[in-house]
Amino acid sequence: MDTENLYYFEKAPIAKAVAHFAIPMMLGTSMSVIYSILNAFFLGTLHNTAILTALALTMPLFAIIMALGNLIGMGSGTFISRLLGEKKYDDVKHVSSFAFYSSLFLGLIVMAVGLPLIDPIVHGLGATSDSFGFTKDYVMVMLIGSPFVVLFFTLENIVRSEGSAITSMTGMILSVVVNIMLDALVIFVCHWGVIGVASATVISNLAASSFYAFHMGYKSQFLTVSVKWFKVGLDILSNVLKIGIPVFIMSIFLGAMSLIFNHFLVEYGDKAVAAYGISSRLFQFPEFILMGLCEGVVPLIAFSFTADKLRMKNTIGFTLKAIVTLAVMFGVIVYLISDHLIGLFTNDPQLIKIGSYILHVTFLSIFITGMSSLFTGIFQATAQGTAAFVMSFIQGITLIPVLFIANQVNGFHGVVWSLVIADTVAFLVGAIMLYALRNKLQPELNS
């Protein structure tokens, strides 16, 4: 490991170390959300609600493809950080090569299985007769490009796990910049609509993946993409999967929850679905910044777990304070200007009213969402597979019955509020598990 990364892992003041790992991740994730918002804005200029609806309906598919990248990326990444703390550098090469090739393989499986089933997939996403064609176009391109999308999410985690936070951020920003430039080209110049937007997403992921692969092959001291280091052993599989599978399940639940949520909203018209699509993208900006903070410190927590548990404890405490500060700041901003934010995407008064309402309700859970992300990051970093697994499905299994009950009791308002209820339950479960595991994680600090 190079001297600079080692310094931030082992010796830098906690605030400086957290900033080194978290700020690049926060900037990278915020850029991704900015792209998502601009994506909706560009398509909104076409003044076709069915296109915005299609964009919202395809979110579950993207979540599934992303889940495969996180299955390999988060599982391998946290394992790599722990191996670095133990100074097992050859094992790091085996794990990084395994992650590279297995993610490509998973993406090829998605493409091979998904393309023959594209019509059932589009129907399953909840497309109406108006939005079916647009949704199918987007799904087709995403399936074709899934190997590169899976690879992007995998490699971003791998590069960050060795402490190269700036490189990880650079790849994420590269993906966003390429995506925005291509979006403008395909919509305003080529007039390719949904197919162009989906193609831009795939190409941008390919560009960023190439950047990461170059870093791993030529710049990194310990990561590699060389096939000669590829190894599939029980130790690698067990350590990758015990964290990767819970992350995968969590991502799948997010996609399933989005799918189920869309099906409930469809009952209240395309405007309800479109309003949720817009407001959820706006909510993603602070949500992903908090998520970037929590995911950014995972390598530091994982390294410290095997090297210095007192440093791990101090890192967690500092991150908690940062979550509180950011949640309060974002909450105040949104409650003051929510109508203006929704108005950036549409001039439909009803759409603005619905979107602003959804935004107000969902922002009630911004703090507990951030805390749940921190709990999950701690469990992943410290190889607590069972706790990570519980966190991965608790929100989903809570949301589904709550949705059914809330929809029956209070209609549209119940559907929207069900998100807050599910987030609260996940937070409480995570807090209880972290308290129960405190002695296992830091026995010498709690004795």
For 91-121, give the DSSP string. HHHHHHHHHHHHHHHHHHHHHHHHGGGHHHH
The half-sphere exposure of 167 on its side-chain side, counting CA atoms within 13 A, is 22
Q: In degrees rounded to 5, what are phi and psi of residue 131?
A: -100, 0
Radius of gyration of the chain (CA): 21
The half-sphere exposure of 368 on its side-chain side, counting CA atoms within 13 A, is 18
Separation of alpha carbons 23 and 352, rounded Å: 32
Q: What is the DSSP letter of 190?
A: S
Q: What are the E-state strand segments in 31-188?
A: none
Separation of alpha carbons 36 and 33, rounded Å: 5
Structure tokens at 56: 């919202």
One-letter amino acid of 85: G
Which residue in 413, 278, 287 sits closest to 340, CA to CA?
A: 278
User: In the prediction, which pLDDT does 396 show?
Assistant: 67
User: In the prediction, which pLDDT does 195 show?
Assistant: 84
Separation of alpha carbons 59 and 54, rounded Å: 9
One-letter amino acid of 442: Q
Tens of pLDDT along the chain (447 residues) come to: 456 667 888 888 999 989 888 888 888 777 767 776 677 677 767 766 677 777 777 777 887 888 888 889 988 988 898 888 888 888 889 999 999 999 999 999 999 999 999 989 888 887 777 778 888 888 999 999 999 999 999 999 899 888 788 898 899 889 888 988 898 888 888 877 788 888 888 999 999 999 999 999 888 888 999 888 888 888 888 888 887 887 787 777 766 776 777 778 778 877 787 788 778 777 777 888 888 888 888 888 988 888 788 888 899 999 999 999 998 888 888 888 877 778 777 777 888 888 888 888 888 888 888 898 899 889 888 878 788 778 877 866 787 888 888 888 888 888 888 888 888 988 999 999 988 887 777 654 454
For 378-416, give the DSSP string. HHHHTT-HHHHHHHHHHHHHHHHHHHHHHHHHHHHHHHH
Contact 19, 286 (CB under 8 A): no
CB burial of residue 115 (10 Å; 0-12, 13-18, 19+): middle
One-letter amino acid of 324: V
Contact 147, 113 (CB under 8 A): no
Separation of alpha carbons 277 and 260, rounded Å: 14
pTM of the model: 0.73
Q: What is the DSSP letter of 267?
A: T
Which residue in 66, 112, 41 sits closest to 344, CA to CA?
A: 41
Q: In degrees rounded to 5, what are phi and psi of residue 145?
A: -90, 5
Structure tokens at 396: 């989903």
Contact 284, 66 (CB under 8 A): no
The half-sphere exposure of 193 on its side-chain side, counting CA atoms within 13 A, is 14
Residue 21's alpha-carbon distances to 60, 80, 315, in angstroms, are 29, 15, 11
User: In the prediction, which pLDDT does 413 show?
Assistant: 85
